[in-house]
Structure 1
Amino acid sequence: MFVSEVRKQVEGSLDEVRNHPLVASAAAGTLPRDAAHRWVFCAGRESRSFPWILRELLAWTDDDKVRRILQENLDDELGSGDPRHAHFLHYLHLLDGLGVAREEFDTYTERAGITLALSLAFNVAKSRSTGRAIGYMLVNEAMTPVTYNAARQALTRHHPELRTDFFDLHIEVDDQHVAALYEAVEALPDDEERDLRFGIALGRRGMEILLDEAYGVFDAHVEPLRITDERWNPLSGLR
């Protein structure tokens, strides 16, 4: 069975995320306040879209075990029947604690990191590939305690009185989600291994580029680049 190899791939992905400059700086207590706040904006875009992604996966998944895991995850996101405990509502309370106006969050200009990360997630949700979906969800959930714990450390350094319910909830429940997803991995047929591994790679890729945006990698370009523009033609001016 390929489960042990999948665990190694996931752990390798987590190590790469831990070594990302943004996460490493947060863990070391050296991440600037502005970068920590922008990280919150990036995480919020992901948090806002996550219930939609889970619903899309549920719309086509016919494996009972996978459906149960996804439904439990969605229930957690929505507060298990109590809207006051919906994860995104806790996110909005986090913004309040940071003194960030909702308008500032709503008008944040998304750059390439968020755009690509969400595009990857949406396309996985539409892929109708069980292996790919489980792989993506597995690494995505496994990375949350790593990234959110680092974000919590960075923010509380700059805001010592900050309530961190948003991070605390995810760190607490995502370990349970990961354990359940490994049960789903064990039930997958061998011919799903390639798609499973590809899903893990997509999840890691999406997280890294989201972190790149928070770290300022895409600050030089705000508008989407179109390579059909004449300026990208290597023969331009030579005719």
Structure 2
Amino acid sequence: MEALATPNMELQPLVTISLIWTEWLAAQDLDQLSQHPLLLALERNEANLATLKTLLVQHGHYSRHFTRYLCALMGHLQDADDVLALMENMREEMGVDGQDCITHADMFQRTLRVLGVSPADEPALPQTAAMVRTMLGHCQNTDALVGLAAMCLGAEAIVPLIYRPILQALEHKGYGEDATEFFKLHIEEDEDHALTMLAIMERLTQGDEQRRALAIDVGRDVINRRVEMFDAIWQQSQALATAESSRGDDSGRFSSADFGRVPSRLQARLPERLSHSQVMQASHDASATFCAQRKHKVHIVDLPSFAISMTVGRLDAAESTRLHRHNYETLIYVMQGEGYSRIGDRQVPWRAGDALYVPVWAEHQHVNTGTGECVYLACENAPMLQNLGGIALREELGPIHG
């Protein structure tokens, strides 16, 4: 099926909907969604984890009524075949067709659990409550066309515009299948539901432009309520970010005056990023600078750990590191190749599968004696020393091994 790109191609090249919706959804209405700063920030991985959690919680307040919307709509359909057609949607929502019998609501709740949030954590925003009232009111309308337009144009047809940025944000932040399945499934399936509803709408309007205009207006009304909900979430996240930045650079550090704030129990605080995708293929300015200093390839693992660092080092055949030392410990695991390390006055041979230890302030140098590339993983406690007051030191001592 041909796809319609959202109007501003340079901002949202990946978000598309089918061309069939051009007669029912105005470009400016789609633009409100595709160019909304909240969705753009999610897609570009510029939204923090707190913003993503707030969006999911507010969406939970809205989506938990989905079966009510659908039941109210079906109650006003006159044709039994139309009711049966929408029952397919209901069956999928209730999970009765799947082998595991998991409902879509359960899938979404699983996403929330993985992220450690619940709709009980924060009340529905006024704009979210307005979204719920608007959708339910349209679906309860005795004119079935109104409910169909609300569900079809204001929800099912625009799922890719809303869910794909959320899915991308979850993947950017390292969440797996348990968190993403709900969004993947709806991106794949919801257009089929939308097309089923559209077929009924086409029959109910039967070329009547006033009826068609009514449906378009209802769809626009629901989209506007959704945009207002997104506006409120975005404004709240921006206000929190501003408040945090106003506390200054030392807002995350503690002094003697904060001794009374030591908590009585541990709290898990999940950072925004839990994975660094394709470390050896990714471009990283810090890695490039470090490579230039060390005169061999080093890939820095970019993760928010406060106590340990991790790097992937690479040495070409007959290549070595510079002689150097530092006041943090190092554990090295050799993934590929063979060679030796000079550690203090000792020479330690190694090959793939071996691990070695470099003590604090010991002079050391790693030498590849094989015919192929050597690849090794190094873990060090440098971040802990840096966070204790910038007392991590590294010193280059000599030229590259001859």
Q: TM-score, normalised by structure 2?
A: 0.49
Structure 2 match to 1:149: 164
Which runs of structure 2 are paired with 1:98-177 in the superposition (5 Å)? Answer: 98-100=115-117, 104-139=118-153, 140-161=155-176, 163=178, 164-177=180-193
Q: CA deviation at 1:167?
A: 0.7
Q: For residues 101 and 54 of structure 2, what CA distance do their matches in structure 1 show?
A: 25
- Cα pair 1:135 1:200 within 8 Å, conserved: yes
Aligned residues: CA RMSD: 2.5
- Cα pair 1:156 1:162 within 8 Å, conserved: no
- Structure 1 residue 95 corresponds to structure 2 residue 109: no
Residue type of the alignment partner of 2:102: H
Which runs of structure 2 are paired with 1:41-52 in the superposition (5 Å)? Answer: 41-52=57-68
Q: For residues 124 and 193 of structure 1, what CA distance do their matches in structure 2 show?
A: 16
Q: For residues 212 and 47 of structure 2, what CA distance do their matches in structure 1 show?
A: 38
What SS class does the counterpart of residue 62 from structure 1 fall into? Answer: coil
Which segments of 5 or more consecutive residues in structure 1 lack a partner in the other structure? 221-239
Alpha-carbon spacing, 1:11–1:72, altered in 2? closer, same or farther (3 Å): farther
Residue type of the alignment partner of 1:98: L
- 1:204 pairs, out of 215, 223, 238, with 223
Alpha-carbon spacing, 1:108–1:8, altered in 2? closer, same or farther (3 Å): same
- 2:54 pairs, out of 20, 38, 43, with 38
Alpha-carbon spacing, 1:107–1:34, altered in 2? closer, same or farther (3 Å): closer
Residues 148-191 of structure 1: per-residue CA shift (max 9 Å, x gap): 11111112222344531111111111011122222123212315
Which has a greater percent of strand?
2
Structure 2 match to 1:7: 22
- Cα pair 1:97 1:162 within 8 Å, conserved: no
Residue type of the alignment partner of 1:92: Q
- Structure 1 residue 193 corresponds to structure 2 residue 212: yes
Alpha-carbon spacing, 1:69–1:207, altered in 2? closer, same or farther (3 Å): farther
- 2:92 pairs, out of 65, 76, 91, with 76
Residues 100-156 of structure 1: per-residue CA shift (max 9 Å, x gap): 3xxx42241211121110010111121112221121112210111211111111122
Which segments of 5 or more consecutive residues in structure 2 lack a partner in the other structure? 1-18, 240-402
Which runs of structure 2 are paired with 1:224-235 in the superposition (5 Å)? Answer: none
Q: CA deviation at 1:46?
A: 2.1
Q: For residues 91 and 185 of structure 1, what CA distance do their matches in structure 2 show?
A: 29
Q: TM-score, normalised by structure 1?
A: 0.80
Alpha-carbon spacing, 1:27–1:196, altered in 2? closer, same or farther (3 Å): same
Structure 1 match to 2:374: none
Structure 1's consecutive aligned runs of 4 or more residues displaced over 4 angstroms after TM superposition are 217-220
Identical residues among aligned pairs (%): 21
- Cα pair 1:116 1:209 within 8 Å, conserved: no
- Cα pair 2:86 2:196 within 8 Å, conserved: no
Q: For residues 129 and 123 of structure 1, what CA distance do their matches in structure 2 show?
A: 11
Q: CA deviation at 1:88?
A: 0.6
What SS class does the counterpart of residue 195 from structure 2 fall into? Answer: helix
Structure 2 match to 1:236: none
- Cα pair 1:113 1:209 within 8 Å, conserved: yes
Structure 2 match to 1:225: none
Which has a greater percent of helix?
1
Comparing both chains, which one has the higher relative contact order based on Cα–Cα distances under 8 Å and sequence gaps of 6 or more?
Answer: 1
What SS class does the counterpart of residue 95 from structure 2 fall into? Answer: coil
